[in-house]
Structures are given as C-alpha cells and as structure tokens.
Structure 1
Amino acid sequence: MTVHTAQTAGAERAGAPDGLPRIEDAGQIAPRDARNLSRLFFDRLQLLEEGTPEHQYARNTLIEMNLSLVRFAAGRFRNRGNGDMEDIVQVGTIGLIKAIDRFDLAREVEFTSFAVPYIVGEIKRFFRDTTWSVHVPRRLQELRVDLAKAKERLAADLDRDPTVRELAEDLGLEEAEVTEGIVAANGYTAGSLDMPADASEPVGRASGARTYADVLGEPDAAMEAVENLHALAPLLGGLDARERRIIDMRFGQELTQAQIGEELGISQMHVSRLLSRILGTLRSGMLAQD
C-alpha cells in the first residue's frame, strides 16, 4: 500500500486534506487496513465542508476502500439465477454510499457492521424489483422461455398467434402443461396500471380511456405529513431553546453543519454530535407514539 501525507503530496493529488494519507489505489487496500484507515477518514470527513474538493476526496476514498464489503455481500447472491454480478455489485455500491453518508463515529459501532445491512438491503431491493412478481416453480419459469420461442416461431409460420394445441404439439407437451405455463408466465411481471379498466377500450392514457390507476385509491402524502407534524410538535416543544434553534437552522434554513458551527461558535463535530442526540430524542419520542 503506497501512502503519503497530503501535506507533502498535495500538489500531486488535488483535494487531499492535511492530516490524511494520500492513497494511490484505495481499491487495493486490504480489508484490515481499510477498517483502520476508515476511522481516520470518517473522523476527518466530519470536519470538512460538504462540497469541497477535500470532502469529496475523503468520501470517494472511503467508497473505494470499502468496496470489498460490497463484493462480499454480493457473493451471497451469486446463485440467485437472476441479474448479472456486475449489476449486483453496482447496486450494492449504492448501499455502501448511503452507509458512508449516514455513518457517525459517535455511534461507537464498526463501520462494517453498520454498512453491510445497507448494502444487502439495496441488493435485495434490486432482486425484488427485477424478478418474478409472484413465486413460480423453476420448471414453469423455464417453460415460459420455451413457450415464448415457440410462439414466435409458429406465429411466423402461421401468420397468426398459435393455439394451445399447436403449442403443445410443437413442444411435445400436454395441452394442460402448456396452459399451466401460460398462466404462470403472467407472474413474471405485474400488469400495468395504465391498462384500460375496460378491456374493450384502447390502450394508453392518450386514448382517454379509464385506466386501473384512475380507479385505485392511493395514500395521501399530505395527510401523512400533517399527522407527523402534529406528533412532532410537542416533542419539539420539549427541546431547549438552543436545540430548537439548531433544528431550525439545519432543516428550516438548510444550513450545513459547518455554517451552524460558525453561527453558534462551536466546532462542526460538536454540531454533528448535538444533531445526533437531538434527532435520537425526537425519533424515540415518535416511535413511542406508534
């Protein structure tokens, strides 16, 4: 592993902040070294201004150093039979980035323990969104592919869609098996909510037809927000004046932690710890009301 202090090599790699090692290839760092270096980078990251080259350097290096966590988690899904491994790793990396952005050293937990659930969660969501809508036996999943090929081949020969009997004869199957396969194939994807509620209507919203989406109810996000605000109001009232001011500056005025620190005359790390404690108090209060 080749590292140099940023003070002596800042000109060679712009954006490396003072006090952090400059790493030539963060992706090649051994997992044990990555764990030790990650604490150093997280500690420095909390002091850096968001959006600056120094902050970007520290964040990107953390991502590269911890990609081994993504590869480890992705390996658990290698035999799922769906999705290319490269896609799985890319999706897992999204989870890693979320974990890095949300990790706080004040939690006093190892980053690996914090990050793996985020990574696995993103991968599971990927499989949930890209695989069969309902559970279908493997033999019927394979039959779906054979049926699709047979339909395409026979339609070209017959100049029309083949019947169940013709498909059965072509594939050397019983008609009941073909029917079962056709029904099971409907589980591969869910029907579109833009389909007409009346099958006799033309397809598409442009036609003016009433779709399934038009007749389905949906949660009112505004009502949920009102309920949350009502539940949060007494909890905010229980905070002291400085805590309410910090919440207002962070989420009302959308100031960065560094800007809040300047306003209050304290360090960005102190602001981070105060926010973590305040939000923890509010979160516990909200959960207690459920």
Structure 2
Amino acid sequence: MKNIARANKMALNRDHSLMHLTEKELFIEYQENKKVEVRNELVNRYLYIAEILSKKFLNKGIDYEDIYQVASLGLIYAIERFDLSRGFEFSSFATPTIIGEIKKHFRDKGWSIRVPRRIQELSKKVNTAKMTLHQNLQRTPMIKDIAEYLNCTQEEVMEAMEASQVYTPKSLDLTYDNDGEDKDIQLIDLIGEKDKNFDEIENRDFLKKAMRNLNEVEKKVLEDRFFNSKTQMNVAEELNVSQMTVSRMEKRIIEKFRKELNKSME
C-alpha cells in the first residue's frame, strides 16, 4: 500500500510540475521523450479547439458526441505531427488536421447508404456550385449550368444530386402536400410493395433451366402430373409402363430439380 501511495504521489507531483510548463516547453519535452503524461497535458490545454470545431458540424446527420471524439483524435494526431522548429502556431497547424479528420469521418460514416467516393466528392461540389451560381445568375441554376461550371456531364450532375438524397435517411412519417386534398400523403404510402410477379419470373426461369436436364419421357411425366393434373395411372397407361415406374420417375425428376436448386444457391 505504501508503494502505491508513493507512486500516486510521484504522479501527482509530476503532473503538477507539467502544469507550470509553457506550451513550447511541453512540446520540446514531448518531442524529446514522447511521454504520455506530457501529451495528455497538451491535449487538455488544446481540447477547446476540438470542441469549437466540432460545433461547426452540428445538425449534419451525425451525433455531436461522435464528431467530438473524432475531433479529439485529430487533436492527438496534430500533437504527434507538430514540429516546433517550423515556427508555426500549434492552433494554426491543428485546425486543418482536425477538420480533415472530421470530414473524413463524414465521408465514411455520414451516408446512410454506401456511395462511391467519387460520387460523394462530386455531390459536395454540386452543392457548392449551386450556391455560387445562384448568386452569379440571380436565379436557380439548371443542371446544364452546373455541368458547365464543374466541367462535367449533366448525367454526372444528376447522379450526384440523386446520391445526395441518401446522405441521411428520411422518416416514413414524412408528409407531402396532396394538391389541395384534405389529407396529406405520407412517405410510407408512396413506397411500392414487392411485386409478386418477381417470384413467378424466378420460378419460371428455374424451371426452364432444370428441364434442360430431363429427357423427353421425364418432361412428359412432369407436364402431365404437375401441369395437366393427370394421375400416375393415366400417365402409366399412356406410356405403357407400370404405375410404380411413373412414381420412380417422379422421384428422379424431383432429385434433379433439387440438385439444380442447390447449384443456383451456391
């Protein structure tokens, strides 16, 4: 217990001594020895920068606490990379480093649906171009105007604008004006249901592929039994075979279908 108390006392004295050092002295100390307690003291002194920069990104679709954590991590990166000999103020060096980390976090985590980096970058340029062109043209810019301003195609501009819609998810309770009707329309009412014909199309496609593995007699058994609703006895009489033979052929057909199904699922 005495050893623990002595160690805690030494740590307190060391931390207390760090508090009396200037920022310049702390950076010199950290560059020479890379002590964690020195870095922690620097973090505590400059944490206000991370807090100020984090607040600039409020209401952008990501919780403030997450942004603040990323900004704090950016501050640590800045402390690690800062070179006192270059003569820059640390705050001037740390600001772009922290903002860069926050923007990187928004690029990677801010989109509710994963969008290619190229589209994300173009989406930001389109938003900036719209504001600039609105001021210059004194009207709402058209797709053509934005494309010419960014030196890209109109299709690329429309792709970026559509992609920006997934930056944050929309509530299903979102309402739209119903052109003068008494009741507004909710987004959930506009979302399409699954088309039952999709399953039917897939089943037909599967049947066509599976039937390629059947001979002519097996195809007749399949069609008569499952499409023409004939009994095994009727099919046996037409083929001049026993009912047991038809039953075995059915099992063989089902086994071929099962193998085809397993192959399609691999």
Structure having greater relative contact order (Cα 8 Å, sep ≥ 6): 1
Q: Please indicate, yes or no, whether the TM-score normalized by the shorter chain is above 0.5.
A: no
TM-score, L = length of structure 1:
0.38
Return the index of the structure with the highest Cα Rg. Answer: 2
